[in-house]
A and B are shown apart, each in its own frame.
Chain A
Amino acid sequence: MAETIGRSGQKADWVRLALSRDAIMIYAVVVAVLFASLRLERFASTLTVGFLLLDLIPVLLIAMPMTLIIITGEIDLSVASIAGLSSAMMGTLWEDGFPIWLVIVVCLAIGLIAGAVNGILIAGLGLQSLAVTIGTLALYRGLALVVIGDNAVASFPAGLTSFTTSKLGNTGIPTVMIGVMVIVIMFAVVLHLTPFGRGLYAIGSAAEAASFVGIDVARVKIKLYVWCGGISALTGIYWTLRFSSARSDNASGLELTVIAAVLLGGVSIFGGKGSITGVVAAVGLIGTITYSLRLERVSDVVLIIVTGTLLIVSVVAPRIFEVISGARHRRKLSTQLAVDRSAITTHTRSTAHRKEE
């Protein structure tokens, strides 16, 4: 056994790495970027880097906790509504004259509370996350409407809004990207390098088994939803400052973009599978394709068809290959079995023959 791994392992390691789902996603991003740079004359510029990343940040941020949640086999559809609620609160509180730091702290706290409500309903009461978060999707968006009505608040401090869209020198990279990368790395470390992260895969694969080995499943899930609420509120704050407009309909529909990116990134909707690398690459891929098509003025109607198809293919293709390779494996196994059986027969016959002698 050890010998086999040692022998074929050398080769298998890099082959496996080079053909892993994550690697494929990275190739896809590279191909998309290369293609866009070569084919679209205006794509390769620092302007693209800036606009593209500013557009991506909300999806990237929420995709982080969403990845962890989906790995445990749950889902959170209320993220965009939490972002909208925090945006609405931000506008109202700022207009009422509270200092901006306090406004931001309160908005983040509201996000954490909204997430905790989700978590307690799902993990505490053991309700379906799909049903609960469809409910809170409507509830939080409704609260946003109550808070700010059909007003729009736009009078945020100019320093803060221009900082949000400012770039690092001439690179075109938004300054806030530093903070976003810190958050991404934190989530990657938690998921891939800690026992807590390994526990998430265990919960997603078999929650009952996970609890037998000492993982407090409910506690873990509540924690994830609280984080998710916090990050969603942070996204709402970013959204408000980036567009310098606090409105109740901010970020609406974002939850579907996020979930699409997470699934495209190779996270299994059934839980137990996925990685941060794949998700980050998928966010990049969707962003690049969207931006390229917009740059070419392809209608948004085509755009949603393309992203929809991409998602379906990414979910369906591996499943089809699984079925095919499963069938192939069974066929091989049965051939093997037949060979073994005939070997046994030959062996028995020869023994019988020997006995006769």
Chain B
Amino acid sequence: MKSSTRAGEANHWRRLTSLIGLLAVLALVAAACGSDSTTAEPASDGSAEDGAGSGDSDGTSDVNDLSITYIPKQLNNPYTNVVLGGGEGGAAEAGFEGIAVVGPLDASASSQVSFINAETQAGTDVIVIAANDPDAVGPALQEARDGGAKIVAFDSDTNPDFRDVFISQVVAKDVALIQVELIAEQIGGAGQIAILSATANATNQNEWIKFIEEELASNPDYADIELVATVYGDDDDTKSFQEAQGLLQAYPDLKGIISPTTVGIAATGRYLSTSEYKGQVALTGLGLPNEMRPFVKDGTVTAFALWDPAQLGYVAAYAGRALAAGEISGAEGDTFTAGELGERTVGEGGIVIVGPPTVFNAGNIDNYDF
């Protein structure tokens, strides 16, 4: 009897302490989000007031107190980080007061919805999103728009019903043309060239190759250039390396190679830089500056192209600002100024093209880190 009472007491004691333990954890959590909110507060205060303001007056009132939030497909992705870096820079330049980046850790279809909801509630003026699923984010984005937010899709489009504009990388044809232009320049406008592609059925590669072939056939400036072969390195480093080697053995008069894939151009660059063809056979295509830097420095490659992912986020910021300020509505033909990149026009279906692709050479390659 006595011991049962004692056990009961011990039980109470245990529960009391576990209550204290739980409260301590809560306090920790509270402290964690408390300390964060002190840093985030000035921005979010502003956005809350402004959210209400822009909702009422359709975003034309106070353009100096706007907030913008980027929601990428997922956090901690190197490519995304470059895009977001450009976005944050652009947003600051465009004069946004509150700038935030939130996003899920996994790129599943529905993981972005609760982040959109939180932004709706925060009264954020501009939500910039790279949708994991064009439809799953739809209802949440609609709710955000009902609350007065402007929606800018970038990188990966949502269903057009749920956003104001879509910021797209580049036009496929521009990508093809710049590569032809570069190779023509590098081989002096005449001679044999070859293409080293990724896989034989890659949609974007084939689209570019088609445009390259058309341009070579139709443009009189390129009449002396002969495309002798198209080979496939399957975006595999070793296979691309071997294909490059094979091309030079099969075509001793080859003057240049176009490789419209980052893996292919890097592998070909590596082969050329260690062979007797270094500086003799031109190489261009689409490459990452960080991978291509040594080949540009040692003279293997003169110039190559790629879009600058940072510009994607940068243009998105200015598009968002123009929308929130009521300067554009996202209709075809609207124009806005995207900071130092100049004027951009909203095309068919609310699509804004960031391009043209950036050309990297010994003069500018050190300005890029991706």
A274 → chain B closest CB, angstroms: 15
Are A245 and B117 in contact, CB atoms less than 8 angstroms apart?
no
Contact between chains at B108 and A252 (CB < 8 Å)? yes
Residue contact B136 to A245, C-beta cutoff 8 Å:
yes
Given contacts A1-B1, A245-B110, A247-B109, contact A317 B18 (CB under 8 A): yes
Contact A299 to B18, CB < 8 A, known contacts A12-B8, A325-B13, A332-B6: no
The answer to whether B29 touches A301 (Cβ under 8 A) is: no
Contact call A296/B37, Cβ cutoff below 8 A? yes
Assess whether B223 is interfacial by the CB under 8 Å rule.
no
- Is the C-beta of B332 less than 8 angstroms from some C-beta in chain A? no
A residues within 8 A CB of B45?
41
Decide if A81 is an interface residue (CB 8 Å cutoff). Answer: no
A257 interface contact, C-beta 8 A: no
Segment touching A, from B80-88, B98-106, B294-302: B98-106
Check if A42 sits within 8 Å of B139, measured CB to CB. Answer: no
Contact with A along B45-74 (1 / 0, CB 8 A): 100100000000000000000000100000
How far apart are the CA atoms of A55 and B104 in the complex, in Å?
14
Contact with A along B1-28 (1 / 0, CB 8 A): 1011111101111111111011101101
| A329 and B7 contact, CB distance less than 8 A | yes
Q: How far is the CB of B36 from chain A (nearest CB, A)?
A: 5
Binds B, one of A15-23, A102-110, A184-192, A201-209: A15-23
How far is B48's CA from A150's CA once the two chains are assembled, in angstroms? 39
Q: How far is the CA of A292 from the CA of B31 in the complex (A)?
A: 12
A179–B204 alpha-carbon span in the complex (Å) = 48
A347 touches B (CB below 8 Å): no
Contacts of A196 in B (CB 8 A): none
Q: Is A72 an interface residue (CB 8 A)?
A: no
Q: Which residues of A contact B123 (CB under 8 A)?
A: 42
- Kindly state the separation between the CA atoms of A154 and B33 in the bound complex, as whole angstroms: 36
> Chain B contacts of A245 at CB under 8 A?
109-110, 133, 135-136
B99 CB, min distance to chain A CBs, angstroms: 11
Chain B CB within 8 A of A354 CB: no
**Distance of A143 from chain B, by nearest CB (Å):** 18
Q: Is there contact, CB below 8 Å, between A51 and B136? A: no
Q: Which residues of A contact B105 (CB under 8 A)?
A: 300-301, 304
Residues on the B chain within 8 Å of A4, using CB: 1, 4-5
A232 at the interface (CB under 8 A from B): no
Contacts of B69 in A (CB 8 A): 297
Q: Indicate which residue in B10, B21, B134 contacts A317 across the interface (CB closer than 8 Å).
A: B21
| Nearest B residue (CB) for A152 | B133
Q: Assess whether B110 is in contact with A154, with CB atoms less than 8 Å apart.
A: no
Q: Which of B12, B17, B18, B26 is in CB contact (< 8 Å) with A15?
A: B12
B108 near A249: Cβ-Cβ < 8 Å: yes
Tell which of A31-39, A116-124, A134-142, A212-220 binds the partner. Answer: A31-39
The 8 Å CB contact of A294, one of B23, B32, B115, is B115
B-binding segment of A63-71, A92-100, A305-313 = A305-313
A152-B135 in contact (CB<8A): yes
Per the bound structure, the CA–CA distance linking A321 and B11 in Å amounts to 9
- In the complex, whether B122 has a CB less than 8 A from a CB of chain A is yes
B108 and A296 contacting across the interface, CB-CB below 8 Å: no
Q: Is the CB of A243 within 8 A of B139?
A: yes
Asked if A133 lies at the interface with its beta carbon under 8 angstroms from chain B, I say no
Evaluate contact between A310 and B136: CB separation under 8 angstroms.
no
B121: which of A31, A48, A154 is its contact (CB, 8 Å)? A48
Q: Across the interface, which residues of A come within 8 angstroms of B26, CB to CB?
A: 28, 31-32, 35
Bound CA–CA A28/B27 (angstroms): 10
**In the complex, residue of chain A having the shortest beta-carbon distance to the beta carbon of B2:** A336
Shortest Cβ gap from B129 to chain A (Å): 15
Q: Is B290 an interface residue (CB 8 A)?
A: no
Closest to B100 in A: A297
Give min CB distance, B301 to chain A, whole Å: 36
CB of B17 within 8 A of CB of A321, answer: yes
A116–chain B nearest beta-carbon distance, Å: 28
Determine if A328 and B10 form an interchain contact, defined as CB atoms under 8 angstroms apart: yes
Is B121 a contact partner of A243 (Cβ separation < 8 A)?
no
Q: Closest approach, in angstroms, between the C-beta of B107 and any C-beta of chain A?
A: 9
Contact residues of B between 225 and 253, Cβ < 8 Å to A: none
Taking the complex as formed, is A130 at the interface, i.e. its CB lies under 8 A from any CB of chain B?
A: no
Question: Which of B15, B34, B106 counts the most A-chain CB atoms under 10 A from its CB?
Answer: B15
B36 contacts A296, C-beta separation under 8 Å: yes
Given contacts A28-B22, A31-B26, A32-B26, contact A294 B136 (CB under 8 A): no
Which residue of chain B is the closest to A294 with respect to CB atoms?
B118
Q: Is the CB of A161 within 8 A of B15?
A: no
Query: Which residues of chain A (259-298) have a CB below 8 Å from chain B?
Result: 289-298
* Given A294-B102, A296-B36, A317-B18: A309 touches B133 (CB 8 Å cut-off): no
Which of chain A's residues have a CB closer than 8 A to the CB of B8? 8, 12, 16
Is the CB–CB distance between A317 and B133 below 8 Å? Answer: no
Question: CB of A352 within 8 A of chain B?
Answer: no
Contact A297 B40, beta carbon cutoff 8 Å: yes
Q: Would you call A247 and B133 a contact (CB within 8 A)?
A: yes
User: Which A residues lie within 8 Å of B159 (CB)?
Assistant: 154
A253 with B106, Cβ < 8 A, contacts A55-B114, A292-B33, A310-B25 known: yes
- A19-B16, A300-B105 known; A8-B37 Cβ under 8 A: no
Q: Is the CB of B121 within 8 A of A322?
A: no
Closest-CB distance, A234 to chain B (whole angstroms):
17
> Are A250 and B22 in contact (CB-based, < 8 A)?
no
Q: What residues of chain A lie closer than 8 Å to B48, measured between beta carbons?
A: 41-42
Q: Which of A12, A42, A162, A293 contacts B33 (CB 8 A)?
A: A293
Can you give 13 contacting A-B residue pairs, CB < 8 Å? A24-B15, A32-B29, A45-B121, A51-B118, A152-B133, A239-B110, A247-B133, A293-B32, A297-B102, A322-B14, A325-B10, A325-B11, A332-B6
Chain A interface residues toward B at CB < 8 A:
1, 4, 8, 12, 15-16, 19-21, 24-25, 27-28, 31-32, 35, 39-42, 45, 47-48, 51, 55, 152, 154, 161-162, 165, 239, 242-245, 247, 249-250, 252-253, 289-302, 304, 306, 309-310, 313-314, 317-318, 321-322, 324-325, 328-329, 332-333
Ranked nearest first, the 9 interchain pairs of A and B with the lowest CB-CB distance are A154-B135, A245-B136, A19-B15, A243-B136, A317-B21, A51-B117, A321-B14, A325-B10, A294-B118
Known: A12-B8, A243-B139. 5 other contacts (CB 8 A): A35-B30, A40-B37, A292-B33, A304-B105, A309-B25
